[in-house]
Amino acid sequence: MSHGDSAEDEGLRPYEPPLAAWRLPAFVEAPLAEVEAKVVECRTCPVFLMCEAGQGGTGWTCASCRATGVLVDVPGTGTVPEDVLLIDCGRHQFWTREAAVDLTRCDLCSGRVMDLELRARGSKQHYIATVHARVPVAERQKNLREAYEYWNRRYAAEEEGEGGRA
């Protein structure tokens, strides 16, 4: 399939994320027991073979938690990928860009990923928690929930302010 063609044009089904993957808003709202039940180990990770081969990663790896992204589709020049899997794993073997060594706090660690979720409704980022995550899943969920609530409040206040000026 060439870039720009849709899956429907090619007679293909649209991409469906693996069962272990979470949409981030669902991840922060889910009961912890449900989240823990979907945590994967190497042999059950949907990108295990790509990881072992060191292929498919975005090249960006957090220096703190080692989370990385895996491209589901290859974007054209200057475009943003349609689907990305965020792999929360401290042992992955994906290639890392030299510049990524300076990425000391990723969007998962900082909570900025929740800002993107709210600004780009319909974002196609999917999160996979692993047993090798450097941030325990309960802590990651708590931190992302707090960030999600913060960004929700901030955007609600901005909308309120805009409504008052109209």
Per-run averaged pLDDT (10 residues), the chain, 166 residues: 54 82 95 97 95 89 90 64 86 82 79 88 86 97 96 89 60
Total Cβ atoms within 10 A of residue 4:
8
The torsion angles phi and psi of 147, rounded to 5 degrees, stand at -65, -40
What pLDDT is attached to residue 59?
87
- For the chain, the domains span 22-73+81-165
The torsion angles phi and psi of 20, rounded to 5 degrees, stand at -75, -10
User: What angle do the packed helices 112-119 and 137-165 form, to 10 degrees?
Assistant: 50
What distance in Å separates the CA atoms of residue 49 and residue 3, rounded to the nearest whole number? 24
What pLDDT is attached to residue 166?
46
What pLDDT is attached to residue 36?
97
What pLDDT is attached to residue 119?
84
What pLDDT is attached to residue 56?
86
In this structure, which amino acid lies at residue 72?
Answer: V
